[in-house]
Amino acid sequence: MAAKTLTIDGKQITAEEGATVLQVAREAGVNIPTLCHLEGVYDVGACRLCLVEVAGVAKLLPACTTKVAEGMDIKTDSERLRKYRRMTLELLFAERNHVCAVCVSNGHCELQTLAYSQGMEHVRYDYTFPKWNVDTTHRLFGMDHNRCVLCSRCVRVCWHIEGAGTKNVSGRGSLSKIITDLNQPWGQAASCTECGKCVMACPTGALFNKGVTVGEMERDRDKLEFIVTAREKKQWIAE
Amino acid sequence: MKIRLATVWLGGCSGCHMSFLDLDEFLIDLADAVDLVYSPVVDVKDYPENVDLCLIEGAVCNEDNLEILHKIRARTKVLVSFGDCAVTGNVPAMRNQFGIDNAENVLQRAYVENAQNNPSVPKADGIVPQLLANVVPVHEVVHVEYFLPGCPPPAARIKSLVAQLLAGTAPKQEGEQLKFG
């Protein structure tokens, strides 16, 4: 494969053709915040937290779905990017009911961590306080739509790692909703294999193991990594 | 001149004030630097004039909260939203999810549906304040200078902010010091 040379934050970098800006930046030790990205499943550019500036391109581009090109000059941190990242986070908090103090993922949440690492000390937009339910019909797992950021990680692991295709997104805009099968209660979704990969993939407290209470939902990503490594490198490396 | 400090308790559980008391020996240093002119731990009934700094715990839930908040803003130089309820609405604001009649519905649920004796919603004009239609964070009602998230903010976080304010610098809080929950 042809090599591409580009610049990230002033650093000269050589990358393989077909690689994404996010992959290349991470390999070069440049940290770009992400939320919907999950190693091992394809990227969709849903959350807009990984936006970067590319010289000569007026709009901001998501690092996770932008492929490297020869001569690209990329900035991953600027006043403008910080402004938009913070705005994106605030809108996520305002859109649903993220009550960290009483959330199963308090202390282990990617949204919560992103918020403080990006300096979000309050939300400038009015909270919308929408009414969402909690689906606890499944034998093992629960889904709290109040905490969902619609990153679709659960949908992607369900389809592309487990291959079950139970999870889907219905609706449009802020009324979008993660559903199981044809919008049935999760407990009645016949295609669910009860593998729990969606729960492992969730960045917030939206998907949880039944029986956990505030702050107890610590995710075990090792199983996902194990399968992804096996698939991509043909190596069965167990912890 | 000592700094005139106030702390108030709106719609919250008082956990932020408990955390404030967790400042331990820093409270002794603080006592040398400030006059505590109004607080749940001070027996002063009316919010005074010319307050330099006020830490506000709790969300804005009822008419009393709303009234005193406007008074506080008019009489105070620097306001700090103190803890998640003040900053986000937090648990008190969860009733907003129940829609337009949420105030009435939660009162019905608490005082009528779940009551074993004398099911009735308490009503005493001028004594029991009316609930607002929606619970809102402090900065949606008045301008707030600084935010101190946490449920409650740990004592070290409070100390860091208060010490910076007493030193006359604009407080800089970052990273985990801004963690909600």
Question: Amino acid letter at A201?
Answer: A
Is B179's CB within 8 Å of A120's CB? no
Q: Is A237's pLDDT higher than 90? A: no
Stretch(es) of chain A classified as CATH 3.10.20.740:
3-77
- The whole-angstrom distance between B152's CA and the closest CA on chain A is 9
Q: How much is the mean pLDDT over chain A?
A: 96
**Does the pTM of the predicted model rise above 0.90?**
yes
d(CA A120, CA B158): 17
| CB-nearest partner of B181 from A97, A107, A123 | A107
Does A105 contact chain B (CB < 8 Å)? no
Res A1: pLDDT? 67
Q: Domain A84-233 carries which CATH code?
A: 3.30.70.20
Q: Write out residues 27-86 of A within 8 Å (CB-CB) of B.
A: none
Where do the structural domains in chain B lie, given as residue ranges?
Answer: 3-91+134-178
- Amino acid (1-letter code) at residue A130: P
Cα separation of B6 and B73, whole Å? 12
Tell me how far apart the alpha carbons of residues B150 and B84 are, in angstroms, rounded to a whole number. 5
Q: Which of chain A's residues have a Cβ under 8 Å away from the Cβ of B145?
A: none
Nearest to A119 among B97, B139, B178 (CB): B178
pLDDT in tens, B106-116: 999 999 999 99
How far apart CA A228 and CA A225 sit, in angstroms, is 5
> What is the rounded average pLDDT of the residues A156-171?
97
Tell the CATH topology of A3-77.
Ubiquitin-like (UB roll) (3.10.20)
Asked whether the predicted pLDDT for residue B75 surpasses 70, the reply is yes
Which residues of chain A are in CATH 3.30.70.20 domains? 84-233
pLDDT band at A232 (very low <50, low <70, confident <90, very high): confident
* The one-letter amino acid at B135: V
Mean pLDDT of chain B: 96
- Report whether pLDDT(A220) > 90: no
Closest CA to B9 of B77, B63, B86: B86
Instruction: Please list the alpha-helical segments (H only) found in A96-216.
Output: 110-117, 153-157, 197-201
* A61 three-state secondary structure: strand
How far apart, in Å, are the Cα atoms of B68 and each of A76, A167, B40, B45, B139?
45, 49, 14, 12, 14
Between the alpha carbon of residue A58 and those of residues A33, A34, A54, A61, B81, the distances in Å are 21, 21, 8, 9, 38
A189 touches chain B (CB under 8 A): no
Tell which wins on pLDDT, A227 or A97. Answer: A97
Please classify residue A127 by burial: count the beta carbons closer than 10 Å to its beta carbon, then call 0-12 exposed, 13-18 middle and 19+ buried: buried
The complex's ipTM works out to 0.93
Domain B3-91+134-178 -> CATH class: alpha beta
pLDDT confidence tier of residue B29, bands split at 50, 70 and 90: very high
What percentage of chain A has pLDDT greater than the value 70?
99
**Residues contacting residue B83 through CB under 8 Å, at least 6 positions apart:** B12, B15, B16, B19, B57, B58, B90, B148, B149, B150, B151, B152, B153
Tens digit of each residue's pLDDT (9 = 90 or more) over B115-131: 999 999 999 998 999 99
Q: Which two tokens stand for residue B18?
A: 């408990």
